[in-house]
Amino acid sequence: MCPDPEPASSFLLRLRGPLTQPSDHSNRTPLLGQQIKSPAYFDEGFRLLETHLRELMDTLAEALPLDPAILGRIPLIRAENADGEFDHCSPEAPQVLSLAFELLNMVEENVAFGLRSRRRSEHGPGAVSGLWPHMLGKLSEAGCSEEEALEHFRKVRVEPVLTAHPTEAKRPEVREKHLAIYHKIVEWDAARSDPHRSRRLRSSLAAELEALWFTGEIFIRRPSVENELRNAVYYLREVFPDVVVRLDRSLEAAWQDHGWSLTRLREENAYPRVRFSTWIGGDRDGHPLVTAEVTARCLAELRGHAATLHGRWLRRAAESLPLAPPFIDCPREIRAGLTSLAESLGDPGRKILKQNRIAPWRAWLYLLREKMTRLPEDGGYGRSEDYRAELDLMHESLQEAGAHRCVTEFVRPLQRLEEVFSFHLAAMDVRQNSATHDQAFAEILQAASLQGGQDFPSWSEEKRIKFLSEELRNPRPLLARGLILPDRADNVLSPLRVLADEVERHGSGGLGQLIVSMTRQASDLLLVHLLAREAGLADFSSAGQWRAKLPVTPLFETGDDLTHADTILENYFAALDGPPASIQPAMVGYSDSNKDAGVFASQWGIHRALERISAVCEKAGSTVQCFHGRGGTIGRGAGPTHWFLRALPPA
């Protein structure tokens, strides 16, 4: 039988050719692993890294309008570019060193990619661990059949969550400039055999470096939540869509090379399910700038950027599909649909149809793009399902007409991006601290004239669970409509009301989880369901209890909380007469657990906690969704993702 597959690491495939011609991989030796890891590869890598870095540092020194004494601090610079005594008090010195290390990262990534390409060329596609060919090979070695692999892949759910903090100070324009510089480095590397083009690209790269120097790397003022969102949107809209499409195509190539049926993979749509989430605009734990109004604006902005994303890809596909009768038969459904769709969009729709009258599929895509720019009341889409249905109709019509490769290359990416990004780009989580919930609920109980309610935070756990369980079975809310609440209560309920309005108007697809920081006891989770009821974000279930419309997620952070995580969930399920849904999210924190218990102890505590959480959820008939709060530093749980996944408890 096939074990649970290890997810392949995601990677951004840069479209560059192999360093050598592909060789025959049919007679691989048993020492392939030793050959791949031979010192020759490492020696070559370090040689290329140093050579390319020296060239780039010299280009940087020539580009910057600085005193030679400061330029002399640039690593690996030529001696003639370094002169004078270094002024340690110079404000430019730290900026020069920071820029040099940014460039080091870019050169290292470019060289590493080249060496990976060479290894795959000389030793086969599976020579690089963590990529699809390698992972499919490991599945086969474990005895996994194609049928079992398809079944497992359909169950895979990957959900990266983008968080942000007020300390994030790097301007998004700088990130865009870094990407432009990296692309110039790649072009320059590829043009080394052409002296004229190489010199021209080096000059262009120097101009990019000069522009970056004068741009300023950090915000002068503290960034707003909207600044943080703009930074995340850049990746969600400009980077991740291409990554998703390339990952799918990489999987298809590996699947086919492995001897499995590409047709089955596509027909069963067995690609791993991916969606993105964000805390930006919803993380209220210690972030006073995140008000209810900010949450509403961020949700609207995410919807707007999702429409921009789909519109851009629709235009790209339309430009690639000038298919025209009589060279291809256009099915009746498309012809009839074109007229109806154009009329529904008024004069702009009729103009699009007239301009593209001989290219029906191009006209169809341009009409969908026009519809994407409108509000529902103006003829735009009300639900992403409507958009998907029109993409599916185009898919089927091209298949019927025999344009199978066009479907794969141009239409399938549109369908995939609708699955991943829908009309919300990323689902927004809302996080708040359990202590803040307690204080807010105490004010709510006081406003409801409940005797002793002001002492709710100090109630025993037994008393809290008894009260909350009884109240969750009460069909009537505690608060009268229109009642003016104290600040703490209003600050907790107002964003939940924003979420309730979002569900009412746009559905729950753009919303993620209600995360409770510092979950210490089961009542911390029960309370969120009751707060959701007061905000109109809960339904009265058939079991006779109020349940929040969004998943309620505990965040276990300290060593003690991790130790008792299974007991907390067990008591939570008991109070609700069972799990609230078939999937129960549980988040484990790395930063606070490391600070509380130390790096090694916290990692072991997280491992043991996940084992116990999984057992409790399985016993209750629910599937646990592990939410790992890993960040970019070692203290926040950083490290190679596939190593981290291998360290998870066995199923």
* Long-range Cβ contacts of 129-134 (<8 Å, 24+ apart): 129/642, 130/8, 130/9, 130/11, 130/640, 130/642, 131/8, 131/9, 131/11, 131/250, 131/254, 132/8, 132/250, 132/251, 132/253, 132/254, 132/255, 133/254, 133/257, 133/258, 134/8
Q: Do 116 and 102 meet the contact criterion of CB atoms below 8 Å apart? A: no
State the pLDDT at residue 17.
Answer: 23
pLDDT value of position 25: 36
Between 3.40.190.10, 1.20.1440.90, 1.10.3210.10, 1.10.1740.10, what CATH number should domain 306-421 receive?
1.20.1440.90
E strands, 536-638, are 538-540, 546-548, 552-556, 583-589, 623-629
Reduce the DSSP state of residue 624 to 3 states and report it. Answer: strand
What's the chain's average pLDDT?
84
What residues have CB less than 8 Å from 462, skipping those under 6 apart?
none
Read off the DSSP letter of residue 356.
T
Under a CB-based contact definition with an 8 Å cutoff, are residues 624 and 570 in contact?
no
Give the Cα separation of 49 and 138 in Å (integer): 31
Is it true that the peptide bond before 326 is cis, omega within 30 degrees of 0? yes
Residues sharing a CB contact under 8 Å with residue 140, sequence separation 6 or more, in sequence order: 258
Beta bridge partners of residue 589, listed in sequence order: 629
For the ranges 23-32, 429-438, 591-600, which has the lowest average pLDDT?
23-32
Report the distance separating Cα 125 and Cα 250, nearest Å. Answer: 11
Range with the largest mean pLDDT of 78-82, 371-375, 448-452, 587-591: 371-375
CA angle 176, 181, 184 (to 5 degrees): 130
Distance CA 212, CA 460 (A): 58
More confident: 562 or 533: 533
Whether the Cβ atoms of residue 468 and residue 575 lie closer than 8 Å to each other: yes
Q: How confident is the model at residue 484 (pLDDT cuts 50, 70, 90)?
A: confident
Q: Is 76 helix (H, G, I), strand (E, B) or coil?
A: coil
Least confident interval from 1-5, 231-235, 339-343, 643-647: 1-5
Mean pLDDT of 472-489: 87
What is the reported pLDDT for 83?
A: 53
Residues 287, 276: Cα–Cα separation, whole Å: 22
Q: Is the pLDDT of residue 35 over 70?
A: no
Beta strands in 121-275 (DSSP E): 157-158, 161-162, 273-274
Rg of the chain over Cα atoms, rounded to whole angstroms, equals: 28
Q: For position 213, what pLDDT does the model report?
A: 87
Closest CA to 417 of 442, 452, 453, 391: 391
Q: Under a CB-based contact definition with an 8 Å cutoff, are residues 130 and 10 in contact?
A: no
Q: 3-state DSSP call for residue 158?
A: strand
Q: How many Cα atoms are found within 13 Å in the side-chain-facing hemisphere of 65? A: 6
Cβ contacts of residue 54 below 8 Å, gap of 6+?
Answer: 76, 77, 78
Question: Using an 8 Å Cβ cutoff, are 286 and 170 in contact?
Answer: no
Chain centre to alpha carbon of residue 527: 29
At 26 the pLDDT is 36
| Spans of all domains in the chain | 306-421
- DSSP conformational letter for 239: I
Please tell me the predicted confidence (pLDDT) of residue 19. 28
506 touches 423 (CB < 8 A)? yes
Could you tell me the strand order of the sheet in which 161-162 lies? 161-162, 277-278, 427-433, 511-517, 552-556, 583-589, 623-629
User: Is pLDDT of 648 > 90?
Assistant: no
226 alpha-carbon distance from chain centroid:
18
Residue 603: exposure state from Cβ atoms within 10 A (0-12, 13-18, ≥19) = middle
Residues 622, 614: Cα–Cα separation, whole Å: 9
Does this model's pTM top 0.85?
no
C-alpha dist (Å) from residue 158 to 56, 184, 275: 37, 32, 7
Q: Do residues 367 and 341 make contact, with C-beta atoms less than 8 angstroms apart?
A: yes
Q: Indicate whether 412 pLDDT > 90.
A: yes
Closest-CA residue to 166 (of 218, 222, 216, 232): 222
- The residue among 480 and 237 whose pLDDT is bigger is 237
Give the pLDDT mean for 141-148.
92
589: amino acid identity, one letter: G
- Burial label for 327, CB within 10 Å (0-12, 13-18, 19+), is exposed
pLDDT over 90, % of the chain: 51
527, pLDDT greater than 80: yes
Say whether pLDDT at 641 is over 60: no
564 pLDDT more than 70: yes
- Report which of 205, 174, 178 is spatially closest to residue 58, judged by C-alpha positions: 205
Main-chain dihedrals φ then ψ at residue 587, nearest 5 degrees: -105, 135
Between strands 583-589 and 552-556, the pairing is parallel
Which of 78-82, 286-290, 455-459 is least confident?
78-82
101: pLDDT strictly greater than 50: yes
Reported residue count of the chain is 651
Identity of the residue numbered 87: D
DSSP 458: G
- The count of C-alpha atoms lying within 13 angstroms of the C-alpha of 182, restricted to the half-sphere facing its C-beta, is 17
Per-residue pLDDT tens over the stretch 290-330: 999 999 999 999 999 999 999 999 999 999 999 998 899 88
pLDDT at 594: 61
> Poorest-confidence range of 249-253, 466-470, 522-526, 637-641?
637-641
Percent of the chain with pLDDT over 70: 84
Token representation of residue 417: 């991006």
The pLDDT, as a whole number, for residue 619 is 93
pLDDT confidence tier of residue 638, bands split at 50, 70 and 90: low
Read off the pLDDT band of 632 (50, 70, 90).
low
Tell me the pLDDT band of 617, cut-offs 50, 70 and 90: very high
**Residue among 597, 596, 586 nearest 624 (CA):** 586
Rounded Cα gap, residues 96 and 54, in angstroms = 15
* The predicted structure's pLDDT at residue 85: 54
pLDDT of residue 24: 38
Amino acid, res. 8: A
pLDDT of 468 reads 96
Range with lowest mean pLDDT among 163-167, 246-250, 368-372, 572-576: 163-167
- Whether the pLDDT of residue 413 is over 90: the answer is yes
Phi and psi at residue 465, to the nearest 5°: -65, -40
